[in-house]
Structures are given as C-alpha cells and as structure tokens.
Structure 1
Amino acid sequence: MSFIQNPVQIITRKIVTPNQDLDIAYPVVVGMANQAVQHRINYQILALVHKVIVDQGYYREPRTTIQGWYEIKTNERGVLSLSIGNYAYTYMAAHGLTVIKSLTFDVQSGKNYELNELFKPGSDYVKVLSDMIRIQIKERDIPVLDDFQGIAPDQDYYIADKCLVIYFQLYDITPYVFGFPFFPICVYKIQDIIRENSPLDKMAINS
C-alpha cells in the first residue's frame, strides 16, 4: 500500500515590534484547496506562537526580549509536523531560556494530534515509549538530574524521517548545559500500537 500526497505550501511571516524586543518568525500554510482546513491549521500555529510568548513572560516583564523561529520536520503523506522555538532573555538574567513546542497536523482535516491520539486505546504507550527512552539514556550516556520517571501522557513530540521524536524542555530531565534531550523512535518499532490512520500510521506505510 502506498500513500501519496503533495506537501503543503508554507511561507514565513514575522511578528516584529518597533524596538525589536520581539522578533518572531512563524510558518503560514497557503494555497490549500480547502480554505477552512487551511484556516484551522494556521489558527492553531499562531495560537501556539502567542502562547509561548505569554508563557515566557514577555508581557509580565517589559525588559524581556524574544527571538523566535520554526522548523518543518515533516511535510509529506498528508502530515505536517513542525516545531516553534523561542529564545527569551530578561535583562540582568544569568542567561536566556529557549522553549520548543511542536504541532503535528493531518492536513486533510486540519486536526492537531496530541501524543495519546497517535496510539491505540489501551496500548500503554506511555510505558512502551518510556522504556525505550530509558534504554537510550543509558546507551547514549545522557546525564539526568534524577532517575528518569518516564514521559508524560502529553509529552512534547514531533515526527521526522519515519521517527517519532520525543523530547523534553530544558531542565526537565537534564542539566541546562546538555541542551534539549531528543529521543528518536523508529515507527516500525512501535507499529503494533500505532492508531490506524493517525499521522504515525501514515509515516509507517511503505511506498
């Protein structure tokens, strides 16, 4: 079985304040035949961009500057997976802090999938993925702040190169100097628990 669907067209737009303390680049989907779906996708992207700006304290602390960017991780087979990154620095702080959040869409419906929606009900995906990550931590000799307790049911993730990439924010499980810990998991290793017709399922189909 094969799954062929052209990538969606993406352009870059920016949010820049007059004094440039806010300089955010974000993706916008254009040219879709279904304008309602296109609007749904773009609304969710922009909502996430604004949420991260708020969460990083831009409106609470007037001396905060934020630079933002994005990366397209997957744009094929009817799946659009992307990451939004923001680096915020507050005057006199020891250092800034980067936050990365992600969205994964079915481009036919415009639905954004949470992690649990990628897996069959009752599959205990949290334990399966946590065990795989625990092995990677040991094999890659990743320094952790405490014993790894496992992922959250709504853990951050994106899809790239036929892999589910689970990741954690700075300070969540590793020291700041380590950076973001990313854990790629091949879709074929978890194929038996993937929910049918989910974005992961589409990536697992050979073509």
Structure 2
Amino acid sequence: MTGKKHYLVLLFLSLFVLAAGAEANSYWQRISQGFDNRAFVYEQRLEKDTERVEIRASIPQIKGTLNEVWEWEVNDRILECVETFLQEVEEAAELAPAESFAFPYAGYVNYEVTLNQGGLLSLTLTFYQYTGGAHGMTYLEGINLDLTTGKTLTFDEVLGSPQERELLVAVINDRLAEDPQWFFIDKFDEFMIGEEQGFYLQPAGIVVYFPLYEIAPYAAGIQKFVVPLQ
C-alpha cells in the first residue's frame, strides 16, 4: 500500500510538472506552429501638411475577429494613441517661435504586422517625431493580442519562467560581447528587465526591445534581441 501511494504521488507530481510546462510553453507553440488567423489588419491613413508641421500616419485596424465589440475597442485605443501623439507634435509646432523653424516639425507613424497565427496577433507601431534640434526621436510600441481570449499578452506570460529569462539574458549578453562599443553596459542581468518591458512576437521567436538611450546611444538605434523558440 505504501508503495502504491508513493507511485501515485510521483505520478501526480509528474503530471503537474508536465501540465505546468505545457502551459508555460503554450504561447511558444502557438507562435511557431499555429495556423493563420481569420482576422486581418487593414490600414487607415492620416495626412496633414502646413508651413509648420508634416503629419504622416499609417494606422493599423483589426478586422475579422469573433468579437466585434472587443475589436472596436482595440481599434479605438490604437487610433486614440496615434491621434494623441500627432496632436502633441502639432501643438509643439504651433507654440514654437517662428525663427526656430529651420525645418518643419514632423510626426510619422507606421506599423508592421509581425505575427498573425495560432490565435495570436502581434504588431508594432513606430512613432517618429521631429520638434527641432539635431535629430528627431523614434519610439517603438509592441501590441500583442490573444484573439481567443481578448487579452493583451504580458511579458511575464511569454517570457516568465527562469529558463526563458536565462535564455533572454544569454542572447543579450552574447550581443554585448560581440559589439561592446555600441552599448552603455558591459553585462545584462534579469534585474534590468523593465516592469513594462517592450516585446513583440514573430515566427522566429520573441523580440525584446529597448528604447533609444536605454542601453545604447542614439546612433545604435532601438536595440532588439530575438529569443529563439525552443
């Protein structure tokens, strides 16, 4: 009887470990092995030119999900985010002294669909603004959606286990070792991961990115690191 109990305990623990592993890697499996989604992304454009400012925006809008209300809410949030950014650029142009306009101010927005399969949709928004000075600034925003649940994926959900974090740290440190002249830091560790760490999905893996000036100078650009799916 004791041996049977021991066997059942081991069996339960084994099943628990397998279930936990399957749950932890389920997003990875859907990224690499999922079928194409029914949903798609179409473009909405905004353009405006004045003496003071140039606006060019290519805005993603989602269509074809099974929940039209949720779809509308997501599209509205994306549109609001872009419009707020462009409004700030326009307001800066209106408030700037006329003599400061060597070049018109500019606000550009573009997007890229990086994954649309396995019930997951990932895309990036790239924001560029020029409001005077030596150069403009570029910002990247990853949007990662689970179309089956209506959830926005978090960093911890796709790269939350110790093994996954170790892999990310190793990928970053390999790049630091290859090109140390391009970085502010000599070594990366898990504690440098931000509370709202930016990432997006693509078939080859999970891309983790860092804004301009965070770990590298402006000339090095936005730093992106691909964590391969294993």
Q: TM-score, normalised by structure 1?
A: 0.75
- 1:38 is paired with a residue of what secondary structure? helix
- 1:68 is paired with a residue of what secondary structure? strand
- 1:116 is paired with a residue of what secondary structure? helix
- 1:105 is paired with a residue of what secondary structure? strand
Equivalent in 44, 52, 59 of residue 13 of structure 1: 44
How many residues end up aligned between the 2 structures? 185
Change (3 A) 1:176 1:111: same
1:143 aligns with 2:185: no
Structure ranking higher in helix proportion? 2
Equivalence map 1:38-77=2 (5 Å):
38-50=71-83, 52-53=85-86, 58-62=90-94, 64-77=105-118
What is the CA-CA distance between 1:104 and the residue it aligns to?
0.3
- Identity over aligned pairs, percent: 23
State the one-letter code of the partner of 1:48: C
Gaps spanning 5+ residues in structure 1: where?
Answer: 189-207
Gaps spanning 5+ residues in structure 2: where?
Answer: 1-28, 97-104
What is the CA-CA distance between 1:110 and the residue it aligns to?
2.6
Determine the structure 1 residue equivalent to 2:207: 165
Question: Pairwise CA RMSD of aligned residues?
Answer: 2.7
Determine the structure 2 residue equivalent to 1:117: 157
Change (3 A) 1:61 1:108: same
Moved more, 15-24 or 155-164: 15-24
Counterpart Cα distance in 2 of 1:148 and 1:61: 40
What is the CA-CA distance between 1:183 and the residue it aligns to?
0.4
Change (3 A) 1:71 1:107: same
Equivalence map 1:92-107=2 (5 Å):
93-107=133-147
Moved more, 169-178 or 16-25: 16-25
What is the CA-CA distance between 1:180 and the residue it aligns to?
1.6
Compare CA radii of gyration and give the structure with the larger one: 2
Q: TM-score, normalised by structure 2?
A: 0.68
Q: What's the CA shift string for 1:92-134, capped at 9, x where partnerless? A: x1111111111000112332112123245x7486565334312
Change (3 A) 1:185 1:128: closer
